[in-house]
Amino acid sequence: MSERYRGHFIVLEGGEGAGKTTLARSLAERFRETGRETVLTREPGDTVAGEKVRELLHLELSPWSEVFAFLVSRAQLVTTVIRPALERGDIVICDRYEASTYAYQGWGRGLDFDELERVNRLATGGLEPDSVLYLDLPPATGLERKHGEADALRTGQEELAFHERVRAGYLFLMEDAPPGRWHRLDATQAPESVATAAWEALGG
């Protein structure tokens, strides 16, 4: 569903250690330099409820409980941060969004895609990104980069085969997306090269 608002909703997606956080910061800086109001946010987190959800996600949850935890964070973020910013005309850069649920809980955990889509739509009210930047990286490389990270959630601690399925999921989602929405970036490149490629993909 496409919606009418004045802002631009950019989502960064990718597996573990792909460099989304670094790219998000760098893009926000570039947009601000051009004078655009820019909101930088991430999932899960960035609201009081979202931070509680992060705590919850350290527990051993059933696959569907995990989905609903992510959706609590998403619903709260959409309502209190993302939608208001887009209505003001801001650029919103969000580190992960619905594609993470499809890739991790759908492909990774094997939950039914149509059901995930249904519950996700309830959480987002149908708000979809204008642009998705997908940072593609072999999962083994990404896991190596993230090795030993203190705050890793349970999904980040899964075995390599899980992360290979997540990547397959992302590649499927990219193929299936409306033309022009998804942009694949080679995340094996240096961060500055990734940022330049991202900026060009966004038409900057």
Which residues in this chain contact ligand TYD in the complex, by CB under 6 A?
A: 16, 20-21, 43-44, 70, 95-96, 100-101, 104-105, 151, 153, 155-156
In whole angstroms, the minimum distance from the beta carbon of 99 to ligand TYD comes to 8
Min CB(100)–ligand TYD separation in Å: 3
**Given CA atoms 87, 88, 90, 94 in this order, what sign does their dihedral have?**
negative
CB of 124 to ligand TYD, least distance (A): 11
Tokens of 127: 């708000």
133-161 b/e with 16+ CB inside 10 Å = b? bbbbbebeebbeeeeeeeeebebbebeee
The whole-angstrom separation of Cα 149 and Cα 161 is 19
Q: Which is nearer to ligand TYD, 8 or 165 (CB)?
A: 165
Report the residue number, 33 or 159, with the smaller CB distance to ligand TYD.
Answer: 159
Q: Which is nearer to ligand TYD, 135 or 179 (CB)?
A: 135
Nearer to ligand TYD, 37 or 51 (CB): 51
Residue 4 is which amino acid? R
- What HEC string does 83-140 produce? HHHHHHCCEEEEECCHHHHHHHHHHHCCCCHHHHHHHHHHHHCCCCCCEEEEEECCHH
Q: How far is the CB of 159 from ligand TYD (least distance, A)?
A: 13
Residue number with CB closer to ligand TYD (135 or 197)? 135
| Least distance between ligand TYD and beta carbon 177 (Å) | 17
Residue nearest to ligand TYD (CB): 104
H-state helical runs in the chain: 20-33, 48-56, 63-77, 83-88, 98-100, 113-124, 139-146, 160-176, 191-201
Which lies closer to ligand TYD via its Cβ, residue 38 or residue 155?
155
Nearest distance from residue 154's CB to ligand TYD, in Å? 8
For 82, which DSSP code?
I
Count other Cβ atoms within 10 Å, centred on residue 51.
Answer: 12
